[in-house]
């Protein structure tokens, strides 16, 4: 009875949320005075019937938080990018290699972040950027894999995001990746937990509304990794998924699980056309 009552209260709160609606800001995100970021654009064709436009979460932040992301000197996430640059050049493992040994400078990786997750033909699976980094570490460098969404992995993700900033997200969902994408879509629309909420309930049907004294965004992940003021660190996509699922009072999946890989592919595809934006600053 208590669970049913809680679910009823939650449903009532969501129903009342339009009273606290906030429009996405008309401000434009320009980083360091010259790098223009697309934060609002027409939705991709595969979102027909869901949303007409897609918005970066930056559009729903308060003025102070938005301003922090407009200057790399003020963006606290850039500290971790600098740490990742050191790791990029560091020789590790039994093969005596660094990331730079094979890939050159981080800037040579511009555009990579924009197409992940992606199908890996050799492995026969959809891989996230973290999975690909760990494959390089274990199979090419002879080094230990990084913990999924651990500090080292998230820092390197932020570095690879930073060199792709401004480039449009263009995640492929056809061909052999389609079945994974379909699983991700199913997860996105499935209600879970004691509160019986899906990703879509918040991020498709109620974006812009208040929830727990903050505005819901569309839940786009083009801006990840994200430095959250709430916990004062960079946060990976799967860590954020885990927190959202936990908030529905459901048993959540692990970072790097097949379910979260599929969900990442689907959610990333919802942001096709938006600019790569990470590392971003969020509440």
Q: What one-character DSSP code corresponds to residue 26?
A: -
- Of 122, 152, 159, give the one whose Cα is nearest residue 137: 152
Helices 178-189 and 258-270: angle between axes, nearest 10 degrees: 90
Please check if 199 is assigned to a binding site: yes
202 assigned to a ligand binding site = yes
In angstroms, the CA 260 to CA 238 distance is 6
**Does the annotation mark 244 as catalytic?**
yes
Catalytic residue among 244, 261, 262, 276: 244
DSSP code per residue over 101-116: HHH-SGGGGTTSGGG-
283/281 Cα distance (integer angstroms): 7
Helix, strand or coil, per DSSP, at residue 171: coil
The CA-CA-CA angle for residues 48, 50, 52, to 5°, reads 65
Number of H helices, E strands in the chain: 10, 11
85 labelled binding-site residue: no
CA dist 199 and 87 (Å) reads 35
* Residue 103, annotated as binding a ligand: yes
Annotated binding residue at 246?
no
Q: Do strands 214-215 and 210-211 pair parallel, antiparallel, or not at all (unpaired)?
A: antiparallel
Could you tell me whether strands 226-228 and 280-282 are parallel, antiparallel, or unpaired per DSSP bridges?
A: parallel
Is residue 61 marked as binding? no
Residues annotated within the binding site are 99, 102-103, 136, 199, 202-203, 240, 244
Residues annotated within the binding site for heme c are 99, 102-103, 136, 199, 202-203, 244
Residues annotated within the binding site for substrate are 240
Residues labelled as active-site residues: 244
């Amino acid at each position: 009875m208590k669970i049913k009552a809680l679910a009823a209260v939650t449903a009532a709160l969501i129903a009342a949320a339009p009273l606290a609606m906030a429009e996405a800001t008309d401000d434009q995100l320009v980083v360091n005075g010259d790098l223009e970021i697309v934060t609002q654009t027409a939705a991709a064709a595969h979102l027909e019937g869901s949303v007409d436009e897609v918005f970066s979460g930056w559009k729903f932040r308060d003025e102070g938080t938005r301003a922090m992301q407009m200057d790399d000197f003020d963006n606290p996430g850039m500290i971790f990018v600098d740490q990742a640059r050191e790791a990029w050049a560091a020789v590790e493992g039994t093969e005596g290699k660094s990331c730079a040994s094979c890939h050159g400078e981080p800037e040579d990786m511009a555009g990579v972040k924009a197409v992940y997750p992606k199908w890996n033909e050799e492995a026969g699976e959809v891989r996230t950027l973290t999975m690909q980094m760990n494959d390089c570490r274990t199979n090419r460098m002879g080094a230990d894999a990084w913990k999924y969404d651990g500090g080292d992995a998230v820092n390197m993700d932020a570095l690879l995001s930073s060199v792709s900033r401004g480039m449009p997200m263009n995640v492929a969902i056809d061909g052999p990746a389609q079945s994974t994408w379909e699983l991700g879509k199913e997860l996105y629309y499935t209600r879970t937990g004691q509160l019986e909420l899906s990703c879509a309930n918040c991020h498709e049907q109620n974006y812009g509304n208040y929830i727990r004294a903050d505005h819901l965004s569309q839940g786009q992940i083009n801006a990840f990794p994200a430095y959250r003021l709430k916990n004062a660190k960079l946060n990976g996509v799967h860590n954020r998924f885990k927190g959202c699922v936990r908030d529905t009072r459901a048993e959540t999946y692990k970072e790097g699980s097949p379910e979260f890989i599929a969900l990442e592919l689907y959610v990333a595809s919802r942001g096709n056309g938006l600019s790569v934006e990470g590392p971003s600053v969020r509440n």
